[in-house]
Amino acid sequence: MKKQFLFILLLVLATNVFSQPATPTTPAVKTDYLKKSKTQKTVANIFLATGASCVLAGYLIPKGEKVTVSTGGTLWGIPLEDAYNKNDNIKGTFLGIGILTMLSSIPIYLAAHHSKKKAMRLSFKNETAPQLQNSSFINRPVPSLALKTSL
């Protein structure tokens, strides 16, 4: 009788210690990851649109007047001159910033895809677990975290 009482006591203790409460205390992980994915995708879209508008602005800025600068040296008796357009620096800056901004949106898109994929792998679901109550076993729903892995 003593062994049976000890066995039942250990079973009740193990069931109550290792079971989760009926109401989940943690927020839904799936919705957190989906929200994070949506935010990351919005940021990536903003970076892409900003980069595209900078590239477009770089192409639409007029060349400006041609400027010739003498370098002071000669090559076989011909004076060396450096010719460039007045707005070349501005155009190059806009094009460079636009291309870098568009390229920086790629890792953000990849992170958004990873977060969305992670949200689809993690989910909460209720499983039944036997618990001892009033000297009888009953099946109670216990929230659990389901994790899908790809092999």
Kindly state whether residue 100 falls inside one of the protein's structural domains: yes
- Residue 148 is assigned to a structural domain of this protein: no
Dmax over Cα atoms in the chain, in whole Å? 117
User: Which range in 28-32, 41-45, 66-70, 119-123 is most confidently predicted, on average pLDDT?
Assistant: 41-45
Identify whether 142 is part of a domain. no
Residue 111 falls within a domain, yes or no? yes
**Is residue 143 in some structural domain?**
no
Q: Which whole number is the average pLDDT over 85-98?
A: 89
Q: Is there a domain that residue 44 lies in?
A: yes
Q: Range of 60's domain?
A: 26-121
Could you tell me if residue 5 is inside a domain? no
This model's pTM is above 0.75: no
Q: What average pLDDT does this structure show over 86-107? A: 92
Number of domains in the chain: 1
More confident: 112 or 6? 112
Which of the 8 DSSP states describes residue 87?
Answer: T
Report the pLDDT value the prediction gives residue 25, as an integer from 0 to 100. 54
Residue 13 counted as domain residue: no
Q: State the average pLDDT for the chain.
A: 80
In this structure, are residues 143 and 117 in contact, taking their beta carbons and an 8 Å threshold? no
Amino acid 39: pLDDT: 93
